[in-house]
Amino acid sequence: MIYASTEEEGKETFTNAEKAVEAMGLPEKVVLSTDETDMAIYNIIEFPAIVIDGQVVSEGKNLSVDEIISIISKA
């Protein structure tokens, strides 16, 4: 899940996350959310943020495809 305050703000990370998931051959679907209630649950204060399996794994940085693949591999 990608969280951002606006869709435009999260677009780069969302696109790179989709590419990373596809490159890894994973069936998961990447979702971009601007839901402030969900962001508050995860205590996200910097955008964009990536949440995997209920854990915030990146916050406040647009990550490259390779960086996202590395994070997914460790999750």
Residue 40's CATH number: 3.40.30
Q: What is the pLDDT of residues 3-17, one digit of tens each?
A: 999 999 999 999 999
Q: 14-73: per-residue pLDDT in tens?
A: 999 999 999 999 999 999 999 999 999 999 999 999 999 999 999 999 999 999 999 999
Instruction: Indicate the pTM of the whole model.
Output: 0.91
Range of the structural domain that residue 28 is part of: 2-74
> Starting at the edge strand that comes first in sequence, how are the strands of the sheet with 32-33 ordered?
32-33, 2-3, 49-52, 55-59
Structure tokens at 19: 């590419």
Kindly tell me if the per-residue pLDDT of 75 is higher than 90: no
Q: Are 31 and 2 within 8 A, CB to CB?
A: yes
Number of domains in the chain: 1
Contact (Cβ atoms closer than 8 angstroms) between residue 15 and residue 60: no
